[in-house]
Structures are given as structure tokens and as C-alpha cells.
Amino acid sequence: METYRNRYSLDVTEDDYGKLITVAGWVEDIRNIGSIAFIILRDRKGTLQVTALKKNEPEIFKKIVAISRESVISVQGLCKKSDKARNGYEIIPQEFEVLSTAETPLPLGVVDKVESELDTRLDNRFIDLRKQEIQAIFKIRTAIIASVHDYLRSENFVEVHTPNIIATSSEGGTDVFKLKYFEKEAFLAQSPQLYKQILMATGLDKVYEIAWYFRAEEHNTRRHLNESTAVDVEMAFIKNEEEIMKILENLAYNMWKKASECKEELEILCKEISLPNLPFKRVKYDDVIKKLNDEGSKIAWGEDLGNEDERLLGKIMEDEGHTFYFITKYPIEIKPFYTMPEEEKYSRSFDLECGGIEFASGSQRIHNVELLKKRIKACDLNPKDFESYLKGFRYGMPPHGGFGFGIERFLMELLNITNIRECILFPRDRTRLTP
């Protein structure tokens, strides 16, 4: 054989009928009927059938019926029109090569009639990902990320890559992963927050990063990962947070829209996606508290929304016809130190929520170094630990703001996936460090 593959299963057309073609992939199933045997061969596009008759090709027949499921093979054969085969054609093998033999039994069935637990699937993620419905999640993920690049570049954002190994924790407070950096102590970045802010002092004005977030919090839920990804955006010369919210809602809309265009994948997942209306509803924190209290929540002003409250609000907003909505003007005391205060007790901050789940969190930032130091102290942190960050504010820092937008959370809500671990290839959670 000159090549292992010159057609994918679903790319075969009527023009190929009667011709020699070469296909390759994984043996999904073998059905040996005695004098005739079928192989269901799977590649990234779908499956096709290889049909072998014992009397015509006894040698190939013998090899075919002996192969184990999920082995990798390449087959050259006659592409024959057939009403009995699902794709309308089948391959009559002339040459047959086993590229890799799968051991038996499989740790996880690809097309078995029993479900497997998520833990088993994650332990054998490479097999789990052979399922088209699992692949569909990541194909949609690719499409979403492509839309992030498309949209933000169309708005003249510059893509950046900031360090993941950093000297101080990004936002203080929450747990960070410690590591040894030669003779020094370092941390894994909780987010690119401090660096994307420093970049606002450069004149790049608009930056974004598809960033890794590392969080050492010992949570054990279906909504949390210790290593996750996000779209981080920061932009300068803004008058207020509304300018950032406009970018965010357009970004979210574009991501949602792009996902809705993944017809094949959505069909595999049996999902339908309807587009939200722009602009998204803005609700002030004060009004959120009122709404929640009216519905029986005991939340007091000044508290952050708990999980139950977030879900309740999601329901309330849904009833009012809003899937996506912003919660704005949070009390300054429940926001991180870099958040721009407003009036006495509020802040120029916002969260983007969808159906009771927080997708993104952002704000206008403080650009005055003295105010920033004051806020750092007020949050029980030491300005000395933030010296290299603060330096960026001393030699000309324009007003700026931005947000972080969790990609896995977004996918989860988009596709109604109940466990966030399904939305990332190799999840890192409280106990999982492999694969």
C-alpha cells in the first residue's frame, strides 16, 4: 500500500464506487457470520464497513476475524455500492494491514452496551475520546475559541501570553500552588490579572489571553477544577465598566453563535442552541438583593451570592426572559483590591451570569497607585509583595478594566453538561493528577 489512508469514511462519494480506495482507523466491531465477516471501521469522521468473503479472500478473512476490537488498521479495497451497508457502500478488502493491536479486554468499551463511570472514563480518556459525542464537545470548544480570536482581533485586541510561574499570588487571599523556583519560592498564577494590568501601561491598549488558571482550593464539586482555562481581557482608556461589558456581551454572543453553528456536533449531542438577545440585561447588585429577598432568600446586603442564591436569581431572570444578565455595582468590600470603587460603598464591577452560573467577572480597575496601595492594605495584604506590579502604575497608567471568562463553565452551560470535568481534556481536581 502506498498510503494508509486516502479517504475518510464520510468523504467517500459515488465517484469512488468501483474504485480502489484506502481507509484507516480503529476497529469498532467485528461481526463474523461464518463465511462472511464485517468490520466496522471508525475514523474521525464516522464509520464505514469492510466486508470480506471467506471463499474469495481466505487469507484476509482469517486475519480480519482474528483482530481485536479497537486495533488500528489500514485497508485497501474496492469501494462497492451496497444497499445493505449503512453508508451506501462497503469496502471489499484486497490489502489489509494491522498498524497496532489493541490488548484485550479494553479498560473501557467504546460502543459497549453498558455505561461507564466518569472516573473510569477519565482514567482512560484516550479511549473515552474515541466516542464521537465526547469528541463533539472538544470540536465545539475549538469553534468557540476560534470565535474568541476572531472577535477580539476584529476589535484590535493583541493576543498575549503572560507568565504562569509568578512571584506573588495574583489576587491574594485564595489558595495558590507553591513551587520551588531554584532558590526562590514561586507560585502558579491564579490568573493573568496582574500582568494584563501591567500591560495597560505599555500602549498596547487592548490585550487578551487564553489563560490557564491555577487554584489550590480544596473544593470537590462538579463545577470546579484546580486547573482551568479562561478568556482574559483587559483594555485601556475606558470611561467606565460599561465599555468592558459591551465587549464581553459581544464576545459571549459570538461564542454562543459560533457554537450554534456546529450543526454536526450538536446533532451528535442531541442539543439545540438558541441565540440570546443583545444587549444583555443589567441588574444592579442592590436590585438583585431585593429580588432575592422577595423570593424568600435570607441574603443580606454586603454578602456575595451563594450557590443557592445564584440559582434562584437564574430562575427569576429566566422568568423575566433573560438567559444572560449582568450583575453590576457590587459592594466594594466583596471585590478584589484592584477593583475601582464608586461612591462610598460600591464598585465599578460586574459578573456575567447565565442561568444561575457565573461565566465572567470583571471591573474597571484602580489606576491610581496611592488608592491601589490603600485598597491592598484594606484587603489585609502587604503592598511590598506587589512592588513589581505597583511599579507599573507609577509612570503613566491609563484608566483601564477587563474581565476573566471561564471557558469550561461556558461549555458546561452551553451543552448542559453536569460535570465540568467533561469540558476539559485532562481535568485536574482535588485528587486527580493523572492522566
Partner RNA sequence: GCCCCGGUAGUGUAGUGGCCUAUCAUCCGAGCCUGUCGAGCUCGGGACUCGGAUUCAAAUUCCGGCCGGGGCGCCA
Footprint of RNA on 152-171 (CB under 7 A) = none
* Interface with RNA (CB under 7 A), residue from 85, 204, 369, 379: 85
Residue 184, phi then psi, degrees to nearest 5: -110, 170
Nearer to RNA, 113 or 239 (CB): 113
C-alpha angle 31/51/34, rounded to 5°?
A: 45
113 near RNA, rule: CB under 7 A: yes
* Interface with RNA (CB under 7 A), residue from 71, 116, 250, 254: 116
Stretch of residues binding RNA (CB under 7 A), selected from 81-89, 180-188, 202-210, 314-322:
81-89
Task: State the chain's maximal CA–CA distance in angstroms.
Answer: 89
Q: How far apart are CA 114 and CA 95, in angstroms?
A: 34
Q: Name residues contacting RNA, limited to 203-242 (CB under 7 A).
A: 213, 215, 217-226, 228, 230
Q: How far apart are CA 120 and CA 107, in angstroms?
A: 8
Q: How far apart are CA 66 and CA 81, in angstroms?
A: 26
Contact criterion met (CB below 8 Å) for 278 and 146: no
119 near RNA, rule: CB under 7 A: yes
List, by residue number, the catalytic residues: 215, 217, 223-224, 358, 361, 409
Nearer to RNA, 209 or 408 (CB): 408
The answer for residues whose C-beta is within 8 angstroms of residue 297's C-beta and 6 or more apart is: 308, 309, 312
68 near RNA, rule: CB under 7 A: yes
Q: Name residues contacting RNA, limited to 309-368 (CB under 7 A).
A: 310, 334, 358-361
How big is the site for RNA, counted in residues (CB under 7 A)? Answer: 74
* Interface with RNA (CB under 7 A), residue from 9, 51, 323, 349: 51
Q: How far apart are CA 356 and CA 364, in angstroms?
A: 23
Nearer to RNA, 65 or 273 (CB): 65
CA atoms within 13 A on the CB side of 431: 5
H or E segment and range at residue 362: strand 357-364
Q: Name residues contacting RNA, limited to 300-319 (CB under 7 A).
A: 304, 306-308, 310
381 near RNA, rule: CB under 7 A: no
401 near RNA, rule: CB under 7 A: no
Q: Name residues contacting RNA, limited to 264-283 (CB under 7 A).
A: none
What is the smallest separation between the CB atom of 330 and RNA, expressed in angstroms? 11
* Interface with RNA (CB under 7 A), residue from 252, 347, 406, 415: 406
Stretch of residues binding RNA (CB under 7 A), selected from 178-186, 194-202, 377-385, 418-426:
418-426
Would you list the DSSP string of 182-223? TTEEEEE-S-SHHHHHHGGGTT--EEEEEEEEE------STT
Q: Which of 313, 336, 324 is nearest to 360 (CA)?
A: 324
Nearer to RNA, 401 or 404 (CB): 404
* Interface with RNA (CB under 7 A), residue from 2, 3, 55, 296: 55
3-class DSSP state of 432: coil
Contact criterion met (CB below 8 Å) for 98 and 58: no
106 near RNA, rule: CB under 7 A: yes
